[in-house]
Amino acid sequence: MTKFTDLALDPKVLSAVAEAGYETPTPIQAQAIPHALEGRDVLGIAQTGTGKTASFTLPMITLLGKGRARARMPRSLVLAPTRELAAQVAENFDIYAKNTKLTKALLIGGVSFGEQDKLIDRGVDVLIATPGRLLDHFERGKLLLTGVQIMVVDEADRMLDMGFIPDIERIFQLTPFTRQTLFFSATMAPEIERITNAFLHNPARVEVARQATASETIEQKLFSFTPSRRDRSFTEKRALLRALIEVEGEACQNAIIFCNRKVDVDVVAKSLKSHGFDAAPIHGDLDQSQRTRTLDGFRDGTLRFLVASDVAARGLDIPAVSHVFNFDVPSHAEDYVHRIGRTGRAGRQGRAYTLAVPADDKYLSAITSLVKMDIPAGEVPEFSAAPERPRREKDDRKDERKEGGRGRSRGGRSRRDEAPREEPAPVVAEPAAAEAPKPERRKSERREGERRNGRREEDAVVGMGDHMPDFLTRSFKTS
Quick one: 228 exposed, middle or buried, by C-beta within 10 A (0-12, 13-18, 19+)?
Answer: exposed
AA letter at 249: G
The whole-angstrom separation of Cα 136 and Cα 148 is: 18
For helices 361-371 and 333-340, angle between their N-to-C axes, nearest 10 degrees:
70
- What's the DSSP call for residue 204? E
CATH superfamily ID and name for 4-207: P-loop containing nucleotide triphosphate hydrolases (3.40.50.300)
pLDDT the model gives residue 403: 43
Q: Give 80-128 as a 3 state SS string.
A: CCCHHHHHHHHHHHHHHCCCCCCCEEEECCCCCHHHHHHHHHHCCCEEE
Closest CA to 57 of 70, 44, 73, 71: 44
Q: How far is CA 125 from each of CA 60, 64, 76, 104, 445, rounded to the nearest angstrom?
A: 10, 7, 6, 6, 116
The whole-angstrom separation of Cα 255 and Cα 340 is: 11
Q: Are 78 and 152 in contact (CB under 8 A)?
A: yes
Q: Are 44 and 57 in contact (CB under 8 A)?
A: no
AA letter at 120: I
pLDDT the model gives residue 154: 92
The whole-angstrom separation of Cα 310 and Cα 256 is: 11
Q: Are 321 and 342 in contact (CB under 8 A)?
A: yes
Q: Print burial letters for 297-322: b (CB count within 10 Å at least 16), e (below 16).
A: ebbeeebbbbbbbbbbbbbbbbeebb
Coil, strand or helix at 425:
coil
Strand partners of residue 73: 70
pLDDT the model gives residue 339: 87
Low-confidence ranges of the chain (pLDDT < 50): 390-423, 426-441, 455-459
Q: Any residues with CB less than 8 A from the CB of 48 and at least 6 apart, and which?
A: 186, 315, 337, 338, 341, 342
pLDDT the model gives residue 291: 85
pLDDT the model gives residue 312: 61
Nearest 5°: CA angle at 281, between 278 and 285?
A: 160
pLDDT the model gives residue 109: 85
Q: How far is CA 322 from each of CA 239, 248, 252, 349, rounded to the nearest angstrom?
A: 21, 11, 6, 7
Rg (CA), the chain: 38
pLDDT the model gives residue 474: 67
Global pTM reads 0.64
Q: Any residues with CB less than 8 A from the CB of 423 and at least 6 apart, and which?
A: none
Domain ranges of the chain: 4-207, 218-371
CATH superfamily ID and name for 218-371: P-loop containing nucleotide triphosphate hydrolases (3.40.50.300)
pLDDT the model gives residue 364: 95
DSSP line for 269-294: HHHHHHTT--EEEE-TTS-HHHHHHH
Same fold, 4-207 and 218-371: yes
pLDDT the model gives residue 391: 41
- Tens digits of residue pLDDT in 65-91: 888 888 899 999 999 998 888 988 999
Closest CA to 46 of 255, 311, 315: 315
pLDDT the model gives residue 422: 47
Q: Print burial letters for 111-122: b (CB count within 10 Å at least 16), e (below 16).
A: eeeeebbebbee
